[in-house]
Structure 1
Amino acid sequence: MHYIESGAGTPLVLLHAFPVDARMWDPLRVRLEEQVRVITPDQRGLGESALDGSWARGMLDERSASLIVDRPGVDVAAADVVELLDRLELPRVVLGGCSMGGYVASAVLRAAPQRVAGLLLVDTKAPADTEGQQANRLGVATRAEKEGTSGWLAESMLSNLLGASTRQRRPQVVEELRALIEAQPADGVAWAQRAMASRPDSLAALRAFEGPAMVVVGSEDTITPPEAAREMVDALPNGELVELPGVGHLPSLEAPDALARVLLPWLASIDV
């Protein structure tokens, strides 16, 4: 599993959204790294991480690799994260995820809650997909495999991923996001969509987590709006809600200063 690491202090693992890679966290990283050890992996099949997991897991035999590629699931992505923590010799971390990254973070909670000292959920949700949402994901996966993703995936997602304020006032962010989406391998896009389509409801995992938790949501997020954030905060025994005005689904790109301001004191309060 390819990852970017910088800084020193509280270990913070940040899992990226779909359909981008770890670079979505770079604007936030430079605002945290004087006080925080920031670790941002590329999830399986996206960015520079192999789809078969071979980088994350060492040498897999061909049959095992094929079985994993053929079984998309957030539990598989969560196992990659736990393996990375083992390799970095990190028994506990603050674990954060945005959108798809939040789904994977919740899967880590189900599989290895003892590894999570604090939980950060950014513009994500707990419920499983509806049948209609599943069908849409599977349709995108099939199209990506047949046609690739160039020319249509970014165009179909940009207006939902970024808030209206960002689209109107920060065209450079729109173009940066477009480039990130266009850089993703089609087979990784398809695998991730199928993994998300099959994920279970995560509310029980959130209710069972007694550590500190922060839920961040952009006020202009139309994919996972503030009511989805409030549902997660209500489930978390020690949850705290932060709503960022004028921000959409990707605050690390849209408002890294505002996100860093709320994260730094919260991270400083967590005993890892």
Structure 2
Amino acid sequence: MAAIEVRPGRSGPLALCSDGLAGTWPDWLPLADALPGVRLIAVVRQNPELDDAAAELAAALDTQQADRAVLIGHSMGGFVVEATARLWPERVSGILLLDGSVTPADPLVSALDRLGGQVLSATVARAPALARIAGGVKRAFEPAEVRHDPERRRLVDPLGAQPAQWGVIARELTAYADWAARLEAIRTQHPLPPVPIHVVTAHQGVFRGWVRRQAGFVERLRADPGGPTVHHHIVRSGHLVQLAAPEAVAALAGDLWD
């Protein structure tokens, strides 16, 4: 487990961040700047199993000498945050899910995820030239706010094109369906802790299927005997909402640290 302090030298309440698929720790810099009174720690996953990833997140609390923290998960990192909160409820003071992955996964989507991971592992992760091409593809799907901002582009561009990074992406893409199934099993045995939960859904205001899936997910969380769950929408934002709309995220979820 690697725990990276996003903006070093800060004091204040602690938040542990778990990246989504293809995410890298600099993705959290804009949110850290929007939350100047919070210490954001990006926890870099180093194990392919969901339980191990959750254990890494919990262990980061010990490295920071903290009993509890707010957990922030983006996309696939939402799986990790929810699993951690359910398995170590006493270590969690709040939950923030940013366009988090939703279970159960569609069987066809799961099959495509596995195939995509296998293909990526066999090609891009082992070929630097293809990794650079894949980095260009990744950039094409990032929000305009990131593509057109030289500072944010500088932060994420080199990391997204590294073969080693794409190897991690391939591994997690292959395991996506397994993580979804494992989280479903954890949910049946471990309730959420009684802490505030904020779910942020980002969308462009066009395709509503993702919004409906997120709404269904929120209802599942509200049916759990955990804390109050609030659902927010950030329109005209890409999936990397912590990069595209950090100020909006900070404004919506700032009460997690009150």
Query: The TM-score by the shorter chain falls in which range?
Result: 0.7 to 0.9
User: 1:198: how far off?
Assistant: 0.7
Measured after TM superposition, the shift of residue 120 of structure 1 is 0.6
Any idea what SS the aligned residue of 1:236 has? helix
Amino acid at match of 2:159: L
Whole-Å separation in 1 of the counterparts to 2:154 and 2:59:
34
Relative distance call for 1:268 and 1:208 in structure 2 (3 A) is closer
Residues 61-210 of structure 1: matches in 2 within 5 Å? 72-149=48-125, 150-158=131-139, 160=141, 162-163=142-143, 166=145, 170=148, 172=150, 177-183=156-162, 185=164, 186-200=166-180, 202=183, 204=187, 208-210=192-194
**Could you say what the CA RMSD is over the residues aligned between the two structures, in angstroms?**
2.9
Residue 223 of structure 1 deviates from its aligned partner by: 11
Letter in 2 for 1:267: L
**Alpha-carbon distance in 2 for matches of 1:171, 1:136:** 33
1:230 aligned onto 2:230? no
Q: Distance in 2 between matches of 1:113 and 1:230?
A: 24
- Counting aligned pairs with the same residue, the percent is 24
Moved over 4 A (4+): 155-160, 171-178, 221-224
**5 Å matches for 1:22-61?**
22-33=25-36, 35-44=37-46
Question: Residues 158 and 197 of structure 1: is their aligned pair in 2 closer, same or farther, counting only changes over 3 Å?
Answer: farther
Equivalent residue number for residue 248 of structure 2: 258
Deviations 1:197-239 (A, max 9, x none): 2113547479644310000111228698322322232223411
Once structures 1 and 2 are overlaid, which stretch shifts more, 234-243 or 218-227?
Answer: 218-227
Equivalent pair of 1:217/1:243 in contact (CA under 8 Å): yes
Q: 1:253 to 1:129 in 2, by over 3 A?
A: same
Number of residue pairs matched by the alignment: 238
- For 2:198, the aligned partner's letter is M
- Length-normalised TM-score, structure 1: 0.75
8 Å Cα contact 2:86-2:193 kept in structure 1: no
Contact 1:43 1:77 in 2 (8 A): yes
Paired residues of 1:85 and 1:91 also in contact (CA < 8 A):
yes
Asked whether the equivalents of residues 138 and 193 of structure 1 are also in contact (C-alpha less than 8 Å), the reply is yes
- Indicate the SS of the match to 1:94: strand
Deviation at 1:155, TM superposition (A): 4.7
Closer/same/farther in 2, CA of residues 17 and 200 from structure 1, 3 Å limit: closer
Distance 1:146 1:235 in 2: 37
Change (3 A) 1:122 1:139: same
Q: 1:166 to 1:36 in 2, by over 3 A?
A: closer
In structure 2, distance between residues paired with 1:126 and 1:136: 16
Partner of 1:57: none
CA contact (8 A) 1:215 1:239 kept: yes
What letter matches 2:2 in structure 1? H
Please, which runs of 5 or more residues in structure 1 have no aligned partner? 45-52, 54-71
In structure 2, the gaps of 5 or more residues are 126-130, 223-227
